């Protein structure tokens, strides 16, 4: 019997003749049914023990104990055709994501998916869907919204209701809602949001539930259903507070402040944004700090407190550059442009709009690119740069025609 045949048997390949399998078992001394049964039981016991170990490591990663989890992961050596190899690689990906090494994380998620396909593995849980979900999160973290949407669709397409890890469907749907909102696809998001919102009692993960609360509040804000948005924010904040989910609590407080701002309840809005800064003076949650400072500068812009507006938006831009959060950085850049444009300082405003337009085009944030282009075209008009303005207007027309751009859900001031 050749090595190739033996390898196929050990990998569980489907094209191996049954008689060859029996001959191989006989050579190994496993043709005795009792011996084989005993071995099968031992293998099942080993798999059960390793499953428990991997689940404990996953719990460590979930609870921000990646540094403790890593040596335990490295000590586990199993064949690539082992039924738990996809789970092991998935956890390797989770570890590297926690370290913000997104490329390495992606490598392990893709390997886990490949192993399932190559060795015809059929895990009891939805680990392949989980890998696609994590790939979408990696894409989103790297400002690749299009890829994030593709990954989440793949995760949903391979999800199996009859397998374990059922909660991954809620995470996939919640992430899909986030990506659709971020790309201003509000018509598409409405039915998915309603369906997922109805599943709230079934969602075990507090983080997933709170992400859904935030998306719903943002959607209601877009629909100008302000009182409903306020109720959703308050309920979500209460859940976040009770479950000590600080990051999501601060995110919901920021959304609540933005709704108050749109209602022209400026003092209430200002109090919410300032409370985010007071809660996190050491900057543990830089994205929340960036958002809060940006909104405060918008309030100062609206009230024509120019120096305060300028000082705060420059701080927001600095945080945005340090966090490599392109989406939030480009909003701060546009707000900075607005501050100068409102003072008729168009020469100062233009570079901020230009940078925002460049970054949004590069990263696929077409709706925000549309905002930056409009503002920049206005500046060029005021600066009598008609040639430059005409080029931008043509670009705007192409953007609207080819991408069916809708108005982005962002706040730069009161209309």
Kindly report, residue by residue over 309-342, the tens digit of the pLDDT: 999 999 999 999 999 789 999 999 999 999 999 9
Average pLDDT over residues 160-181: 96
Please state, for a pLDDT cut of 90, what percent of the chain lies above it: 81
| Residue ranges with strand state E in 291-407 | none
pLDDT in tens, 195-215: 999 999 999 999 999 999 999
3-state secondary structure of 291: helix
pLDDT at residue 234, rounded to an integer = 98
pLDDT at residue 126, rounded to an integer = 98
- 14 vs 343 pLDDT, higher one: 343
How big is the chain by its Cα radius of gyration, in Å?
Answer: 26
Identify whether 356 is part of a domain. Answer: yes
Range of the domain at 338: 280-415
Comparing C-alpha atoms, which of 153, 123, 115 is closest to residue 135?
153
pLDDT in tens, 65-102: 999 999 999 999 999 999 999 999 999 999 999 999 99
The size of the chain, in residues, is: 415
Identify whether 293 is part of a domain. Answer: yes
pTM: predicted TM-score of the whole model, two decimal places: 0.88
pLDDT at residue 190, rounded to an integer = 95
Identify whether 410 is part of a domain. Answer: yes
Burial letters 286-303, b for 16+ CB under 10 A, else e: ebbbbbbbbbbbbbbbbe
For the residues of 312-336, what is the DSSP string, one character each? HHHHHHHHHHHHT-HHHHHHHHHHH
CA dist., res. 172 & res. 100, Å (int): 21
Q: Are 12 and 119 spatial neighbours (Cβ–Cβ below 8 Å)?
A: yes
Predicted confidence (pLDDT) at residue 27 exceeds the cutoff of 80 = no
Identify whether 215 is part of a domain. Answer: no
pLDDT at residue 141, rounded to an integer = 94
Identify whether 315 is part of a domain. Answer: yes
Average pLDDT over residues 208-223: 97
Identify whether 149 is part of a domain. Answer: no
Comparing C-alpha atoms, which of 323, 359, 364, 299 is closest to residue 376?
359
Average pLDDT over residues 156-163: 97
Number of structural domains the chain divides into = 1
Q: What is the CATH number of the domain that holds 363?
A: 1.25.40.10
How many CA atoms lie less than 13 Å away from 265 in the CB half-sphere? Answer: 14
Predicted confidence (pLDDT) at residue 142 exceeds the cutoff of 70 = yes
Identify whether 305 is part of a domain. Answer: yes
Identify whether 375 is part of a domain. Answer: yes
């Amino acid at each position: 019997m050749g090595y190739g045949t033996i390898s196929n048997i050990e990998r569980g390949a489907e094209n191996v003749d049954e008689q060859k399998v029996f001959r191989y078992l006989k050579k190994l001394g496993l043709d005795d049914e009792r011996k084989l049964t005993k071995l099968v039981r031992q293998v099942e016991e080993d798999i059960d023990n390793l499953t428990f170990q991997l689940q404990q490591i996953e719990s460590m990663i979930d609870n921000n104990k990646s540094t403790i989890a890593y040596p335990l992961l490295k000590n586990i050596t199993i064949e690539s055709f082992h039924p738990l190899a996809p789970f092991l690689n998935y956890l390797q990906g989770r570890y590297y994501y926690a370290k913000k090494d997104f490329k390495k994380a992606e490598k392990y998620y893709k390997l886990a998916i490949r192993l399932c396909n190559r060795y015809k593995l059929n895990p009891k849980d939805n680990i392949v869907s989980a890998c696609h979900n994590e790939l979408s999160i990696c894409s989103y973290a790297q400002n690749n919204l299009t890829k994030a949407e593709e990954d989440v669709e793949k995760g949903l397409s391979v999800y199996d209701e009859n397998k374990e890890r059922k909660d991954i469907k809620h995470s996939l749907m919640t992430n899909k809602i986030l990506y659709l909102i971020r790309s201003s696809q509000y018509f598409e998001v409405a039915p998915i949001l309603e369906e997922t919102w109805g599943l709230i009692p079934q969602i075990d993960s507090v983080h997933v539930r709170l992400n859904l609360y935030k998306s719903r509040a943002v959607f209601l804000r877009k629909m100008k259903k302000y009182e409903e948005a306020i109720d959703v924010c308050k309920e979500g904040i209460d859940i976040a507070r009770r479950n000590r989910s600080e990051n999501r609590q601060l995110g919901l407080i920021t959304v609540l402040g933005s709704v108050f701002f749109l209602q022209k309840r400026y003092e209430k809005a200002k109090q919410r944004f300032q409370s985010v800064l007071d809660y996190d003076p050491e900057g543990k949650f830089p994205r929340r700090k960036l958002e809060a400072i940006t909104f405060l500068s918008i309030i100062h812009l609206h009230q024509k407190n120019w120096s305060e507006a300028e000082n705060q938006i420059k701080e927001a831009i600095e945080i945005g550059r340090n966090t490599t959060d392109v989406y939030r950085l480009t909003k701060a850049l546009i707000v900075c442009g607005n501050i100068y444009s409102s003072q008729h300082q168009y020469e100062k405003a233009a570079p901020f709009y230009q940078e925002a337009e460049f970054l949004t085009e590069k990263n696929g944030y077409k709706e925000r690119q549309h905002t930056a282009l409009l503002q920049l075209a206005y500046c060029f008009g005021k600066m009598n740069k008609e040639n430059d303005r005409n080029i931008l207007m043509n670009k705007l027309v192409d953007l609207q025609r080819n991408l069916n751009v809708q108005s982005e859900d962002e706040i730069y001031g009161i209309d």
